[in-house]
Every structure is written in C-alpha cells, then in structure tokens.
Chains A and B, each alone.
Chain A
Amino acid sequence: MQKDGRISLDELRAAITDKTILITIMTANNEIGVLQPVAEIGAIAKEKGILFHTDAVQAAGKVPFNVNEVKADLVSMSAHKMYGPKGVGALYVRRRNPRVLLAEQINGGGHERGMRSGTLNVPGIVGFGKAAELARTGMADESQRLRGLRDRLNEKLHKNLDEIYVNGSMEHRLPHSLNISFAYVEGESLLMGINDVAVSSGSACTSASLEPSYVLKALGAGDDLAHSSIRFGLGRWTTDEEVDYVVEKLTTVVRRLREMSPLYEMVKEGVDLTKMQWVAH
C-alpha cells in the first residue's frame, strides 16, 4: 500500500506465486474513496493467467466502469450505492475468455444458472436496472457537479483550518468522496458537534471495536490522525449551501475542540508529541 491509498503494482507482482488463482481488490475504497489502478491490475492478472475480481460497489454508477477495459472476470456491485433499492446486488461473471465457473452458493432450483438458487427479487432487479440507467445517463454532468462541490468543501476547510489532512490521493478518487483528518481533535467528539450532518468517523469510538480505522493506518497515518478523521460523502441532492453550512459548522467545532485539546496545547508550546512517553490503556 502506498501513502496515497493505491496499491503498488510492483508489490502486487512480487506477491504473485505459482499458487495464486485470484486477485481481488476494491475498485474504490469505501472509507477514503481512492480508486485503485484496476485496469493495470487486470492486465497483470491476464498476463499471469490469474482470475481478477473487483468489488466495484463504491465505484459503479459513479465513475465510468467497463468490465472489458478493466479485464475483470468477476465484479461485485450493489444497487443501494447508486440510489437503487436495498437488498439487491449483482455479480458479473465472465462467460468466455476465460469462462469463470463458480461453486453454487445457494443450491436448490438451479436459478441464475445454478449459481444462486431461489426466487428472484424482481422489483429489486428492476429498480437496480433503472438506477443503473439513471446513474449512467447522468454520470458526466453529475460527477462534474459533485467534484466541484467536493473541491469547494475541501478548499474552504483548508482555508479556515490549519493542520487538516486529506487521506488518500486527491487525483485518483471518487468525485463525491472526501476523507479528512483534523489533527488534535478526536473524531467522535467532532461528530457530536455536527450532529445534524450525516458523516462518519474512522475513529475508535464510533464502533464497538475501539480500534481506529485500519484503512487509515495502512496509509501510514499516525494512530492519532486515524482517530481524527471524518468521511464526507456528497450526493445527488447535496447543494452549495449545504457544503457552506458544513464548512462553517465544522470550523467552529474544530476550533472549540482544539481549545479543549491537551495535544493542541502541547504542540503550540513546542512539545513533540512523538517524543512523549504515553501510557497506552
């Protein structure tokens, strides 16, 4: 994993052995929105004669995606991530060059070519199809609009606040996605201050696990920054006014929590936090 959240193709090549039968990776990461070089990965898989699966749940319907360009053999997608109904997804399975044979996951009446038996969820499937159609016809305009809103959010936050860091590549990123660490402020307390905004934190306390985001840790973010992150997802109905509201609110809350943060105070006094002997608990 590189610092920008993309995997290293050299490391991927080095990890492949003669026993490798499958490469699988997310097209876009759900926490940081970073797009992986899936076309290059697909080419490597093809060259080595290995099957390639990608989880395109976050990316499908948001950015152009073509199974042949990516040379994917298997692709997972989900309707609810593109404004379709919940409870329906799709698995693309390549039928030739090569033919992918899957062991049945649910056996019985042999529906869906024997791969997944059971009565089909017709309303879900139709809804998914319509959602995909709408996502595709509107994609060019919508992704441009979302990128504009996302960049507005990012630029205004950077203008108002020092020591905030975007997690993952800005260049290779879903247009509607942004993940920022606000140094010296803990993520859950930040969420409490903006409780009328629907965002999520990669911090420990939002889940029962009490572990910070492993995704952010994999990027090499210090644990403290992994505890200070917020994931923003913009959508079809997000407006300029809403972005500006979030910027104002976050700016106020981050400043207030930093005034309350012993870490911020120590840094301002010139203490190097990495040189402290902390007592883990």
Chain B
Amino acid sequence: MAYSDKVIDHYENPRNVGSLPKDDANVGTGLVGAPECGDVMKLQVKVNPETGVIDDAKFKTFGCGSAIASSSLATEWLKGKTVEQALAIKNTDIVAELSLPPVKIHCSVLAEDAIKAAIADYKKKQSETKGEGAVAGEHAQPNA
C-alpha cells in the first residue's frame, strides 16, 4: 500500500491526539466505528457556547494509517470553525486532501461521521442544560 506524503505526515506527527473532559457541557464526544471492523475513532470538540466556535478538538483512533490521518486532519480543520461550518465538512474533502485510494474512502466517511457525532453530542448536552428536548447522538454508548 502506497501512502501519500500527507498521510505519512499525519501518521508520524498526528495533530491533537488526546482527550477532552467528556462530562464538560461544552465538550461533544463522537465515538464511531467498531473494533471488529478494524477502525474506531473518538473525536471531541470543545465549543465556545457564546460564539458557537470550536476552540479545541482532540482525537484518538484505532485504525490504519489512513484512519489516523483522516481523524488528525479533521481535528485540524475543526479548530476555529463554527459548529455549522464543521457540519459542512464532507468526507470527499478529506479524500482529496489526503489523496486516499478507493479502499481507504471508508476512513474518511468515518471521520465525517465522528465530526457529526461529536457535534450532535455537544448539541444534546447544550439542550439538556437548557432544559430542552434531547437530540439523539449516533455514537456508541455503553449498554445500560
């Protein structure tokens, strides 16, 4: 498998690896993928509730080099964007930026899903703190 220089760079120098406090009302967490599929991404955003701007983004990924690069790139792009701008990020943007081959497109889809799940989680928390109805997140949850 030949990797693009950008994938190798993100693999060797991943941006924004780590975790944000997941109980913080301003932090949204997306956890997508499954161990049996060989990819799990955890992506977190910390949003300024006044401005709706993403101040910080972190990720942790179990997956191939392209999955690591897709999530690393996603965190880079998320910082400084508003929640609405973040939702406009498409997996095809990631494919183009990293020159992902066809067999790796699912990595970019997963990154897009992770962004959407993180933001859905943030919105859900916000609405709960404001006492409004909950917005369902699609990310994985421990069984009750």
Contact = CB atoms under 8 A, between A and B. Distances in A.
Contacts of A192: 3, 8, 11, 64-65
Contact of A279 (B33, B65, B68): B33
B34 A280 contact: yes
B36 A278 contact: yes
Given A262-B31, A278-B36, A186 B140 contact: no
Nearest to A274: B35
Interface stretch (B77-85, B87-95, B102-110, B118-126): B102-110
Interface residues of A, number: 36
Contacts, number: 113
Contact of B36 (A185, A277, A280): A280
A251 interface: no
Interface string B1-43: 1010000100100100101000000000001111111111110
A159 interface: no
In the complex, which range does the number of interface residues on chain B fall in?
A: 35 or more
Contact of A186 (B3, B14, B38, B109): B38
A49 B36 CA distance: 42
A263 interface: yes
A69 interface: no
Contacts of A205: 1, 38, 64, 66, 103-104
Contacts of A186: 38-39, 62-64, 67
A210 interface: yes
Instruction: Give the residue among A184, A188, A203 with the most B Cβ atoms within 10 A.
Output: A188
A262 B42 contact: yes
A208 B1 CA distance: 10
Q: Which 7 A-B pairs have the closest CB atoms?
A: A223-B36, A224-B35, A278-B34, A262-B42, A188-B64, A227-B38, A262-B60
Interface of B: 1, 3, 8, 11, 14, 17, 19, 31-42, 60-68, 103-104, 106, 109-110, 113, 138-143
Interface of A: 184-189, 192-193, 203-206, 208, 210, 212, 222-224, 227, 259-265, 271-273, 275-281
Given A278-B40, A278-B140, A281-B113, 17 more contacts: A186-B64, A187-B38, A205-B38, A205-B64, A212-B38, A223-B36, A224-B36, A259-B17, A265-B42, A265-B60, A273-B35, A276-B140, A277-B143, A278-B35, A278-B36, A279-B140, A281-B32
